[in-house]
Amino acid sequence: QKLLNPGMVLGYSYRYFDDDPTDERPDPAIFAASEVAQGGETPRHAKTGVELKERWLHAGEVRWIDEQPYHPTADVLLETVTEKMSKSRGNVVNPDEVVARFGTDSMRLYEMFMGPIEKGAPWSDEAIPGLFRFLQRAHRLVIGEDPQVARSEPEASEGQKQVAR
């Protein structure tokens, strides 16, 4: 019998670089990933060659402008990195919060539709409200509380019967 190797649930992390690798300066210059040459051991500024340090922001610290992640204090576009969920990266989603907000069935349904179980998939909160609404509609349909659902259809006219043939 083959054992199933479940894939990882991935999260989004947000990266930028600054020119203070020793963490001693109070106000270092901040750079986007597009300004960095990452060919060697340490990242360096692409034009000046200054040594830079990689920094990460938690999802709650990110400032969003036109659906793009920006640094909270500088006008620098952050690099979005998809990686394994990790507390140190701050990209962990607490399932208790999702269950409290949308219910266990919504959480289970989302996990089922993430994709093949043996492959990794990025976590996205955007689909869960839609699944929650779907489950609510299905529940109303089954217990008969949806006023928009007709319980019996009228007899088809002769024209409709001919089209159906």
Q: Do 86 and 126 share a domain, yes or no?
A: no
The last residue of one of the domains, among 65, 92, 119, is 92
Nearest to 86 by CA among 11, 1, 3, 164: 11
Q: Do 66 and 9 share a domain, yes or no?
A: yes
Q: Do 101 and 72 share a domain, yes or no?
A: no
Cα 123 from Cα 99, distance rounded (Å): 15
Q: Do 54 and 133 share a domain, yes or no?
A: no
Q: Do 9 and 76 share a domain, yes or no?
A: yes
Q: Do 2 and 68 share a domain, yes or no?
A: yes
pLDDT higher at 147 or 113:
113
- The per-residue pLDDT for range 5-52, each reduced to its tens digit, is 566 778 888 989 988 877 777 788 888 988 888 777 788 888 888 888
- What is the model's pLDDT at position 133? 94
Q: Do 65 and 102 share a domain, yes or no?
A: no
The last residue of one of the domains, among 69, 92, 115, is 92
Q: Do 69 and 147 share a domain, yes or no?
A: no
Q: Do 109 and 63 share a domain, yes or no?
A: no
Q: Do 22 and 85 share a domain, yes or no?
A: yes
Q: Do 149 and 123 share a domain, yes or no?
A: yes
Cα 149 from Cα 146, distance rounded (Å): 6
The last residue of one of the domains, among 66, 92, 118, is 92
Structural domains counted in the chain = 2
Cα 123 from Cα 120, distance rounded (Å): 10
- What is the model's pLDDT at position 28? 85
- The per-residue pLDDT for range 44-101, each reduced to its tens digit, is 888 888 888 888 888 888 999 998 999 998 889 999 888 888 887 777 888 888 899 9
Q: Do 56 and 103 share a domain, yes or no?
A: no
> Which domain, by its residues, includes 88?
1-92
